[in-house]
Structure 1
Amino acid sequence: MRIFENLESEVRGYIRSFPTIFSTSKGAKLTDENGREFVDFFAGAGTLNYGHNNEHISSALIEYLQKDGIVHGLDMATTAKKEFIETFENLILKPRNLDYKLQFTGPTGANVVETALKLARLVKGRSNVVAFTNGYHGLSQGALAVTGNNEYRDESYISRANATFMPFDGYFGDWNTLEYFRKFLEDGSSGVDIPAAVILETIQGEGGINVASKEWLQELESLCREYDILLIVDDIQVGNGRTGNFFSFEFAGINPDMVTLSKSIGGGLPMSLLLFKPDLDQWKPGEHTGTFRGNNLAFVASKVSLENYWQNDDLSNAVFYKEKILKDRLEKIMKKYEGEYKIELRGRGLAYGLEFKDDASIAGEISSYAFEEGLIVETCGNQDQVVKFLPPLVIDEETLTDGLNKLEKAIDRLFKDKKAKLTGEF
């Protein structure tokens, strides 16, 4: 690991949580240079919904490269782009009766968020945007302005202008936070300008797996329509099948004005995509550009992913089935220790979080112990107090159970060590 410590920037993060050199991967497993195998409940922070080195994707990419397919084409028309757009329209948009245009932005999630904010302000002629407590939308300056976590919001580089935060669903317990939001909109002296847009995640991934209810999302959409505010759903981490449906908002029956997609939409390769209603397409040609706004390899990977997993409901049904396995096992683990610790479980689909409310450090310790047991699992939340579960959607039941066994063993060992330290029994 010395080469990384000596030459790579101190900004490196996950390498510190998982201190080994990984060399190969397949499905829901990673193997390091020493041949040690790890079950992956991290999935590239939601990038690898279809698993590591998915055979359908790998085969399609190899074939495309061997035929000298175009790799880089800016936003020129290519066969790969044409076939992706046709597939996305036929398998995703039409079956859901969604009428969106597509804009390919720079390859990161922050790129597509910046694009959505810029377009919303252009269309509405207003600068304010409302985001929500504990929301995470990226770390470039515009995206960071609507990201809530104070750890990233250093005064030396963040622009706090033109962004207002409102409480997310459940922020005040059972009280309806949209009543609070409505009051600010109704009062012309509240100091909150009517926003161009509202941006939110239906499940706040980095924020702690905070889940918005169907009713809250429906009421938010109604509020946005009432005040002529664009509704932007950030589906970068919890879209692309993570909740069982392709889009995380489908269960609520809402129709956002814009949807941001990244991470798994590229089949594991860098690609970001903005969906927006046709009347919002008010760009002048070339008004928003980027060198890597047309990753043709990602088009190939995404097309084959859609063809193999979204022709029918098999993947969705598998996600709902595996959700029950994950949730049931986590509930059993929680009940084992809820007499000693205040623990809360929440999530949807294959995005779950186990929060330790009275000791934020426990989640990080669980992640460390799990790594020792051969399980990759990260933390999230405003104090990293939540153990976060994002296994690949294609994980098989045996590997899912194996990972949960490793998790339970890690938690049992951690709490045994903690008890030993308290009693002096080493």
Structure 2
Amino acid sequence: MTTYPADLVGPAAVLRRQRDRESAARTYARSFPIVPVRAEGMVIEGADGRRYLDCLSGAGTLALGHNHPVVLEAIRRTVDGGAPLHVLDLATPEKDEFTETLFATLPAGFADHARIHFCGPAGTDAVEAALKLMQTATGRRGLLAFTGAYHGMTMGALAATANVAVKEPVAGIAADVTRLPYPYPYRCPFGVGGERSAELSAAYAERLLDDPAGGVVPPAAMIVEAVQGEGGAVPAPDGWMREMRRITAERGIPLIVDEVQTGVGRTGAFWAVEHSGIVPDAVVMSKAIGGSLPLAVIVYHEDYDGWLPGAHTGTFRGNTLAMAAGTATLRHVLREGLAERAASVGARMVARLDALRAELPAIGDVRGRGLMIGVELVDPAGAPDACGARPAAPRAAAAVRAACLDRGLIVELGGRYDSTLRLLPPLVVTDEQVEAVLDRLADALAEVTAPLAAGRGA
């Protein structure tokens, strides 16, 4: 057996080679300089022997955490059974079983008239497919998207994404996107906050679309997240979602809901659209549907199924292992009532974190839905805006993330200026792990933000 010197295989050497060889676009590797070698459930073990509670869950991919037994069993069964692992878009028993299971999770009003298209392996591929589908169906080109949105990094998805920093350096992004204000009570785009923010957002969208001098040509679609994930765990009010459905339906505009991060129980319902009761024209799905393996689909109303054969293809549409793992995951979430558990556990976490605001004024806002939670940090010495929100504190947020890692807790940032701590624990998080997460986070927050309360900068 070949052996290698310790200086070539130790975690420091692995991290050094990663820095030397991988692109400057790497992200999580910068925030978490660890080398995972084992993982189970919510726990990751690094090559140095340290153990971490993973509150990132593959950016929401790992509904059942790492290496869940039902997922591993499905993968082993598929491999041992000799199933073809790559089949393009051919029918297989695994694909049929996945589709049947997925459709059984959908609201009846949607599933009864639905079609599915298997896309490339990532959520951004499914967004591209959804946009292309609606352009084909309507013969239009424009798109309605929202402030704070994140839909992916390929060109069409990036055009719909709101983050200016990642769009600015890229020439040639499709510019035919009308940006509408997403209701964000803490940092209200209208400067009023509260429920009025959603009311004004809906009124603005409706009047803009009906204004003959508003500059908006009838678009091919509207795309929206029911909870903005990368945007800082900002939930859309249910009434506002119903208004977006009404506004688009009355004007013949297809409504696409991006459930890449919110799906499979994450928000306390199996699909986030269920909270509002709307029936969209298309839903974009990825992440958790593959049971930790790459898989992305769009599910849409049959009336829009106007593609010609080969109109949207992709080599890796037929990921048999991901379909088997995805079927096992979907069934387990349903059988064990994990969406309902996400709702109750998430509410408990938000309540405790919200109580910390009285003790730690650097916590500006606590929000979320289910196990999709955001803690926005602010400079308590800064002047509040018209809604009472103080300036964002991105340096403090980065320091809290690092302090959490020191305590064996992985949390990531998002939202405006990357000043929101985002919590995405797996749906199988235990009560003991919930308490450990909250204790470690509270300790890190107290350590980092105490100087801010004393006025020593954000």
Give TM-score scaled by structure 1 length.
0.95
3-state secondary structure, aligned to 2:130: helix
Tell me: CA distance 1:138–1:97, structure 2 relative to 1, closer, same or farther (3 Å): closer
2:289 counterpart letter in structure 1: I
Which of the residues 153, 158, 167 maps onto 1:144? 158
Partner of 1:277: 301
Letter in 1 for 2:355: K
Please state whether the residue corresponding to 2:30 is helix, strand or coil. Answer: helix
The one-letter code sitting in structure 1 at the alignment partner of 2:122 is: T
Is 1:67 the counterpart of 2:81? The answer is: yes
Answering whether residue 354 of structure 2 is matched by residue 331 of structure 1, we say yes
2:263 is equivalent to residue 239 of structure 1: yes
Kindly state the Cα deviation for residue 403 of structure 1 after the two structures are TM-superposed.
Answer: 1.3
Separation in 2, partners of 1:95, 1:61: 32
1:145–1:158: 8 Å Cα contact kept in structure 2?
Answer: no
Summarize the Cα distance change of 1:97–1:65 in structure 2 as closer, same or farther, 3 Å threshold: closer
The 3 A distance-change label for structure 1 pair 316 and 270 is same
Relative to 1, partners in 2 of residues 1:215 and 1:95: Cα closer, same or farther, differing over 3 Å? closer
Choose the corresponding residue for 2:205, options 169, 181, 184: 181
Q: Distance in 1 between matches of 2:132 and 2:207?
A: 26
Find the partner of 1:290 among 307, 314, 320.
314
1:262 maps to what in 2? 286
CA shift for structure 1 position 309: 2.0
Establish whether residue 410 from structure 1 lines up as the match of residue 444 from structure 2: yes
Is 2:253 the counterpart of 1:229?
A: yes
Cα distance in structure 2, aligned partners of 1:415 and 1:13: 24
Deviation string 1:220-256 (CA, Å, 9 cap, x unpaired) is: 1000011100000000011111111111010101000
**Deviation of the 1:89 alpha carbon:** 2.5
**How far 1:191 sits from its partner (Å)?**
1.1
Residue 17 (str. 1) matches residue 40 (str. 2): no
Write the deviation string for residues 253-275 of structure 1: whole angstroms up to 9, x where unpaired: 10000000001110110000100
| Aligned residues between the structures | 420
CA distance in 1, matches of 2:157, 2:110: 28
Cross-structure match for 1:103 = 117
Q: Distance in 1 between matches of 2:431 and 2:90?
A: 42
The one-character-per-residue Cα deviations of 1:372-403 (angstroms, maximum 9, x if unpaired) are: 11100000012001111111111111111111
CA distance in 2, matches of 1:169, 1:138: 21
Q: Counterpart in 2 of 1:351?
A: 372
Please state how far the C-alpha of 1:289 moved relative to its aligned partner: 0.2
Cα gap change, 1:155 to 1:31, in 2 (>3 Å): closer
Moved more, 196-205 or 354-363: 354-363
**Amino acid corresponding to residue 338 of structure 2 in structure 1:** L
1:400 aligns with 2:434: yes
- 2:344 matched to 1:321? yes
> Structure 2 vs 1, CA of residues 104 and 97 (structure 1 numbering), >3 Å: closer, same or farther?
closer
Q: Partners of 2:20 and 2:291 in 1: how far apart?
A: 33
Distance in 2 (alpha carbons) for counterparts of 1:40 and 1:321: 20
Range moving further from structure 2, 155-164 or 108-117: 155-164
The equivalent of 1:360 in structure 2 is 394
Deviations 1:56-113 (A, max 9, x none): 0001101211121111000011111011112223344559765311110000011000
Which SS does the other structure have where 2:151 is aligned? coil
Gaps of 5+ in 1: none
Q: Quick one: which amino acid aligns to residue 285 of structure 2?
A: L
1:93 & 1:80 partners in 2: Cα distance? 22
Distance 1:16 1:107, change over 3 A: same
The letter of the residue matching 1:182 is: E
Contact in 2 for aligned 1:144/1:158 (Cα 8 Å): no
Aligned partner of 1:121 in structure 2 is 135
Answer whether contact 1:93 1:100 (CA < 8 A) is retained. no
Aligned-pair RMSD on alpha carbons? 1.8
Q: Percent identity?
A: 36
Structure 1 183/305 Cα, relative in aligned 2: closer, same or farther at 3 Å?
same
The match for 2:423 among 378, 386, 389 is 389
Which residue of structure 1 lines up, in the alignment, with residue 273 of structure 2?
A: 249
- CA distance in 1 between partners of 2:67 and 2:122 (Å): 20
Residue 305 and residue 262 in structure 1: after superposition, are their counterparts in 2 closer, same or farther (change >3 A)? Answer: same
Amino acid at match of 1:353: G
Structure 1 residue identity aligned to 2:77: E
* Structure 2: runs of 5+ lacking an equivalent: 1-14, 379-390
* TM-score, normalised with respect to structure 2: 0.88
Counterpart of 1:131?
Answer: 145
SS of equivalent to 1:310: helix
Q: Which deviations, in whole Å up to 9, do the C-alpha atoms of 1:192-221 show, x marking residues without a partner?
A: 111111001011111111211011011110
8 Å CA contact 1:108–1:272 kept in 2: the answer is: yes
8 A contact 1:117–1:197 mirrored in 2:
yes
Cα distance in 2 between the residues matched to 1:412 and 1:94: 47
Cα deviation 1:127-159 (Å, max 9, x = unaligned): 000000010000111100011010111254341
